[in-house]
């Protein structure tokens, strides 16, 4: 079972996303309301994916960069009610793998995560095949 971590200042958002992820078969190993607490939980539990709210990504603590350095195999998803091109580009540049849009729709959230995982695996397989040849 894949382990997930949720980092969002909104208890309502954390609760809803927790329900969606657990319903989709994920083991939610922790929830935090600040990026620093989220980082501590990530270091402790080594989740396969982290769903982190946009305000935590952009709070100046460089949490995404730290997570990517310490847990390079963990997938990072930014959660936001609004996504513009600049925010998406900035998040991708920091190492975010995918985006989950509020309000949450369970099937959309799970499909987003699944499609991102598949794309990354295919990219890794392509890189492995390229280096093997």
Query: To which residue do tokens 């083991």 refer?
Result: 27
CA–CA dist 41, 64 (Å, integer)? 14
Residue 133 pLDDT > 70: no
| pTM for this prediction | 0.92
Above pLDDT 90, what percent of the chain?
A: 81
Count Cβ atoms below 10 Å from residue 81 Cβ, excluding itself: 10
What pLDDT shows up at residue 130?
Answer: 83
Q: Which CATH superfamily is domain 3-132 in?
A: Response regulator (3.40.50.2300)
Q: What is the DSSP string of 14-30?
A: HHHHHHHHHHTT-EEEE
Q: What is the mean pLDDT of the chain?
A: 94
Maximum CA pair distance of the chain?
50
pLDDT class of 79 with cuts at 50, 70, 90? very high
pLDDT in tens, 93-128: 999 999 999 999 999 999 999 999 999 889 889 888
Give the pLDDT band (50/70/90) at residue 73: very high
């Amino acid at each position: 079972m894949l382990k997930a971590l949720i980092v969002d200042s909104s208890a309502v958002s954390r609760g809803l996303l927790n329900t969606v992820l657990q319903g989709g078969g994920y083991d939610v190993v922790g929830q935090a309301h600040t990026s620093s607490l989220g980082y501590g939980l990530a270091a402790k539990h080594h989740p396969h994916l982290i769903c982190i709210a946009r305000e935590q990504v952009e709070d100046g603590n460089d949490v995404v960069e730290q997570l990517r350095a310490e847990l390079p195999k963990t997938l990072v998803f930014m959660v936001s009610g609004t996504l513009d091109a600049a925010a998406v580009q900035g998040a991708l540049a920091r190492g975010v793998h995918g985006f989950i849009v509020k309000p949450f729709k369970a099937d959309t959230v799970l499909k987003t995560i699944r499609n991102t995982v598949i794309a990354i695996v295919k990219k890794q397989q392509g890189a492995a095949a390229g280096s093997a040849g």
